[in-house]
Amino acid sequence: MNIGEIAKRAGVSRSTVSYALSGKRSVSEETRRKIQQVIDELGYRPNASARALANGRTSTIGLVFPPAGNHYTGMQLDFIGSVVEAAATYDYDVLLSPSGVDSDRSFQRLLAERRVDGAILMEIRLQDDRVDHLGEAGFPAVCIGRTAHSDGDWWVGLDHTALVEACVHHLADLGHRRIAFVNRPERLLHAGYESAHRGLDGFTKAAAERGLTVRTYCCGDDAPSGQVCLEQILHDDPATTALVTLNEAALGGLYRGLAVAGRHVPRDFSVTGVVAGRWAETVTPQLTAADVPAEQMGRLAVDLLVERLDHPDAAPRHHLLAPPISLRTSTGPAHTGSGSTA
């Protein structure tokens, strides 16, 4: 069923059908009814490819998300879900693009072949060639995260530096003096992942301010790595009494490591960090953490992108979020006197 068929059955021209549907020119009430009746009978819907070809807009946005070879984190899932939902409210579809090892192939498909009107990028690196490319090409994109030079970009980000600082201060206020930082995997840190870098900066800075004894670790994005990492922490400094982490996926393993080492949370050891709220509540005891507002961020990213698509010449905008720490039950006062149990 195409528009010509509808036109024929309604006894009008194709253009009249088009105008009846779009409302861009006036159509008599009688004709409109007749057309609508035929359309309802045949269940006609205009072909998306033809429409996209004709008016140059696909009504689709691309979501460039991290490669699957890695482990996904719950946070990423929340982003994807909220982006799709928000896009739907604007009548946009979402096309997924895994930005894997040869990110280029899929990336090129999306952009050069004009499959999407705009793109949302996840997992931003401080120096990110994807962002650079898009910027140079003037392609409408919004980042979830921000690069080192984000002035000209559109983005919605988290103030990881401030969040991790807040975590450190929270622990210092509780009397902890020897704290470990559990970062994302070394591979990602080297690749320049924004959260890993800014989080580390915040940790280092706050630790210096408070005169704490600290160690920093990279840890794989999975539970077993978390357990190994925790063993390493207690091996390097058995007097460690708290840790801050950005590594959501390793959280279960860190807890397991503590349990194996006989450290009770929060009595003997405090744990906090930056984690999506819903996932902070899946561990026992629930994690005191700066809750990543993943849903809100996804929605904001779509809002920005739609605004940018509607106003191609608008000045770059962004949202920097810094949610407060949610106090749950994984942190407590440091033991005074005996710091060592190993």
Partner DNA sequence: ACCAGCAGTCGAACCGGTTCGATGAGTGGA
Partner DNA sequence: TCCACTCATCGAACCGGTTCGACTGCTGGT
Rule CB under 8 A: say whether 80 interacts with a second copy: yes
- The nearest distance, CB 249 to DNA, in angstroms, is 42
According to CB under 8 A, which one of 16, 60, 245, 270 is a site residue for a second copy? Answer: 60
- The nearest distance, CB 16 to DNA, in angstroms, is 3
| Size of the residue set binding DNA (CB under 7 A) | 32
C-alpha–C-alpha distance, residues 189 and 126, integer Å: 10
Give residue for tokens 């191609």: 312
Cβ count within 10 A of residue 300: 22
Which is nearer to a second copy, 199 or 298 (by Cβ)? 298
Binders of DNA in range 36-55 (CB under 7 A): 44, 46-47, 50-51, 53-55
Rule CB under 7 A: say whether 4 interacts with DNA: yes
DSSP 262-316: TPPTTTT-EEEEEEEHHHHTTSSSPPEEEEE-HHHHHHHHHHHHHHHHH-TTPPP
- The nearest distance, CB 250 to a second copy, in angstroms, is 9
C-alpha–C-alpha distance, residues 249 and 242, integer Å: 18
Print the binding letters for residues 148-187 with a second copy: x by CB under 8 A, - otherwise. ----------------------------------------
Binds 11: which of DNA, a second copy, none (CB < 5-8 Å by kind): DNA
What residues contact residue 149 under an 8 Å CB cut-off, 6+ apart? none
Q: Which stretch binds DNA (CB under 7 A): 5-13, 133-141, 297-305, 330-338?
A: 5-13
Which is nearer to a second copy, 77 or 212 (by Cβ)? 77
C-alpha–C-alpha distance, residues 170 and 167, integer Å: 5
Which is nearer to a second copy, 110 or 218 (by Cβ)? 110
DSSP 227-251: HHHHHHHHHH-TT--EEEE--GGGH
Residues found near DNA in the complex (CB under 7 A)? 1-4, 11-16, 18-19, 21-22, 24-32, 44, 46-47, 50-51, 53-56
Residues found near a second copy in the complex (CB under 8 A)? 43, 45-53, 58, 60, 63, 67-68, 71-72, 74, 76-78, 80-82, 84-85, 88, 93-98, 100, 105-106, 108-110, 112-115, 222-224, 249, 251-253, 255-256, 259, 278, 281-286
